[in-house]
Amino acid sequence: MSTVVEYNKNGGIKVSKPNRGQRVLKGLLIGSLIFTVIGFFLMDYTGLDLAHAIPMTIDNLGQMFLSPSLNNTTWTSALWQVTVTLSLAFLATILGAVISLFLAFGTAVNLSKPWISNTIKGFITVVRAVPTVLWVLIFAIAAGLGAVAAVIGMIFHSIAYLVKAYSEAFEEVDEGKIEALRATGSSYSHILFQVVVPQTKSFLISWTFLRFEINFGVAVAMGAAAGAGGIGYELFMASSFYYDMQEVGAITLIILVVAIILELIANKLKANA
């Protein structure tokens, strides 16, 4: 293991060994590199003709982004489908955020009992380990393909994501203020909504909007995979059914513009929080 060379105040060389965190990070980077190289060798290259594939890819990209056009739908319909997708993501985020807020109160170690905190953390860890798309497909078996399964799946994973984010923000609140309020006889709800939430509202807004952006991307993907409709379904039809690269490019640019607008709104909210 290599050593880290630092200079002390007198200009002398101070040699120290990497700490445990640095060793773990280095191991992860080396492991990622090894698995990446192995992945290239495990891929099936049968029938791959690079001399033909590269020009065709360039031609498809040119059609997509240099001459985008909606040939099988209208701009009004496309914008309406974007609104549908945004609505699914918004509904999943709002419901997930409300549920997560109250679960996070029980997860934060400075606001709850250890056994309650550990129980909730164990549950959300299991939920978070399963990708959102898989949760949507799981609920699609029970509720059937459609918007209902997509929203429930996104809510389920949003809760696991936001509970962790919210609880970590709550744990950063000054413990002295909480103890002072408890000493004066303040109620639990008063501590939560008069001290904890106001002090962490900028973090709550940031994490919630970040999850909204994630849910928008998931809603696009689920438009076809789970039959949720929206702009994702139009993208699926254009790419797999019509094979219209111009329409794929137009829809992709619409999604990109919406994503940029969401990012600008998020920055504005964080600045005003």
What average pLDDT does this structure show over 136-161? 84
8 plus 81 within the same structural domain: no
pTM of the model: 0.78
What confidence tens digit (pLDDT) does each residue in 107-135 have? 988 888 889 989 999 989 888 888 888 88
Tell me the C-alpha distance between 221 and 236, whole Å: 9
36 plus 83 within the same structural domain: no
37 plus 102 within the same structural domain: no
176 plus 223 within the same structural domain: yes
107 plus 196 within the same structural domain: yes
Residues 6+ apart with CB under 8 A from 161: 96, 100, 128, 211, 214
What average pLDDT does this structure show over 228-252? 84
The DSSP code sequence of 135-173 is HHHHHHHHH-SSHHHHHHHHHHHHHHHHHHHHHHHHHTS
Q: Centre a 10 Å sphere on the Cβ of residue 52 and count the other Cβ atoms it contains.
A: 9
36 plus 87 within the same structural domain: no
**Domain range for 220:** 71-272
* 8-state DSSP, 112: S
What confidence tens digit (pLDDT) does each residue in 30-67 have? 999 998 889 888 888 777 777 888 888 888 888 888 88
Q: Give the number of domains in the chain.
A: 2
Q: Is residue 88 part of a domain?
A: yes
Q: Is residue 64 part of a domain?
A: no
Sign of CA dihedral 100, 105, 110, 116: negative
Residue 33 tokens, joined? 């590199």
Per-residue pLDDT for 20 more than 50? yes
